[in-house]
């Protein structure tokens, strides 16, 4: 209970900071006026497109899970929908552990293997978005100050720096995962040696968890299925960018932005959402959309149409994921008790080694 309260307070503090960053200098009268004039047809079109994005995300996970065991699509969709809802609603990205726990099944899919699919997803997504952002900012930097761009060189340089930091960080993580895949004992030994000076007991406990996780990593797809996963990743992110581009057209001051600008906003947003923040991703979602838009529009547009755009995109995504998640949660296929105990379930499953599977 104490840990839950501490996590809650931390998430509220981080979320509060991002809310402040997102709403400062906002012209609320103008923002509400802009929202009142939104084309409902575009809203409906974006909602429909985001539902397609939802299905593509489920199919992408299926490509990773296929070698671990057969999961009927109905159950897969139910678990994925509840997991996506938990990810956006729970603070500090605690919802990441929901899918591995709910999909685990004794004798078929172990929690360690299911968790490995989530880690690979996050690494691939982070690398894809960081590479995209670095590429865009590399070419954008030469044009800032002209062509109607409102950003300055300092802002682009700051974003470029953090994009490189994230890219290098996840490349290092990818290198460690590859080492762990091919030389499991060596990776565990290095990890133990690194942590042992801090706490021998903690080092051995985490090494045991890592050993179990690497065992799950070895069960991941072959090259053919991983190729399908990468193709679905391109489709998934491509549809996301198309959706953001589509909604530009209904906001005054943003209607001239194109697909490249949508990719910029998407990559900045995804990098920002890697930061564990408050419930509902409220604050950081809006701030990083504004940050991406700030490279292309004036402060006046950003403080009205920009924040209105962020509010609308967040509301549509949140509504879709919550509606799908709640409908699946109360479908009778998922235990609400298992959902609440997901973090403890992951830890128990990993510490339990190969016996970490649970009955869903």
- Cα–Cα dist 289/273, whole Å: 10
Could you count the other beta carbons within 10 Å of the beta carbon of residue 277? 27
pLDDT in tens, 68-108: 888 899 999 999 999 999 999 988 888 888 998 889 876 67
Report field, pTM of the whole predicted structure over 0.95: no
Q: What percent of the chain has pLDDT over 90?
A: 46
Element (H, E) at 335: none
Q: HSE (CB half, 13 Å, CA atoms) of 342?
A: 25
Determine the Cα–Cα distance for residues 342 and 346; give it in Å rounded to an integer. 6
Helix (H, G, I), strand (E, B) or coil at 10: helix
Average of per-residue pLDDT values in the chain: 85
Confidence of residue 352 (pLDDT cuts 50, 70, 90): low
Question: What pLDDT does 54 receive?
Answer: 98
Phi-psi region of 268 (alpha: psi -120 to 50; beta: other; left: phi over 0): alpha
DSSP, residue by residue, 88-141: HHSGGGGGGGHHHHHH-BTTTB-HHHHHHHHHHHHHHHHHHHHHHHHHHHHHHT
Per-residue pLDDT reduced to its tens digit, 136-166: 887 765 444 333 444 455 677 778 788 888 8
């Amino acid at each position: 209970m104490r840990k839950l309260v501490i996590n809650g307070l931390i998430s509220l503090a981080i979320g509060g900071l991002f809310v402040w960053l997102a709403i400062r200098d906002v012209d609320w009268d103008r923002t509400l006026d802009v929202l009142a004039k939104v084309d409902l047809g575009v809203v409906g079109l974006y909602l429909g497109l985001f539902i397609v994005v939802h299905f593509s995300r489920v199919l992408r996970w299926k490509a990773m899970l296929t070698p671990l065991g057969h999961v009927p699509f109905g159950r897969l969709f139910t678990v994925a929908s509840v997991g996506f809802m938990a990810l956006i609603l729970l603070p500090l990205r605690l919802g990441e552990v929901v899918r591995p726990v709910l999909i685990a099944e004794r004798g078929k899919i172990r929690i360690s293997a299911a968790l490995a699919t989530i880690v690979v997803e996050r690494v691939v997504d982070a690398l894809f978005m960081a590479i995209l952002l670095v590429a865009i900012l590399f070419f954008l930097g030469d044009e800032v100050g002209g062509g109607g761009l409102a950003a300055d060189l300092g802002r682009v340089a700051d974003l470029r720096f953090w994009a490189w930091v994230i890219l290098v960080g996840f490349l290092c993580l990818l290198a460690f995962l590859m080492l762990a895949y091919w030389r499991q004992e060596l990776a565990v030994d290095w990890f133990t040696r690194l942590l042992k000076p801090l706490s021998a007991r903690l080092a051995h406990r985490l090494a045991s968890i890592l050993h179990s996780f690497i065992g799950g990593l070895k069960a991941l797809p072959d090259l053919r299925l991983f190729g399908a996963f990468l193709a679905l990743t391109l489709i998934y992110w491509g549809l996301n960018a198309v959706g953001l581009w589509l909604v530009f057209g209904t906001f005054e001051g943003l209607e001239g932005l194109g697909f490249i600008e949508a990719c910029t906003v998407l990559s900045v947003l995804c990098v920002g959402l890697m930061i564990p923040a408050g419930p509902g991703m409220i604050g950081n979602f809006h701030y990083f959309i504004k940050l991406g838009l700030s490279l292309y529009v004036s402060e006046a547009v950003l403080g009205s149409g920009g924040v209105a755009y962020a509010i609308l995109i967040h509301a549509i995504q949140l509504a879709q994921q919550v509606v799908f998640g709640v409908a699946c949660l109360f479908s009778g296929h998922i235990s609400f008790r298992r959902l609440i105990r997901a973090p403890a379930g992951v830890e128990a499953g990993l510490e339990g080694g190969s016996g970490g599977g649970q009955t869903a």
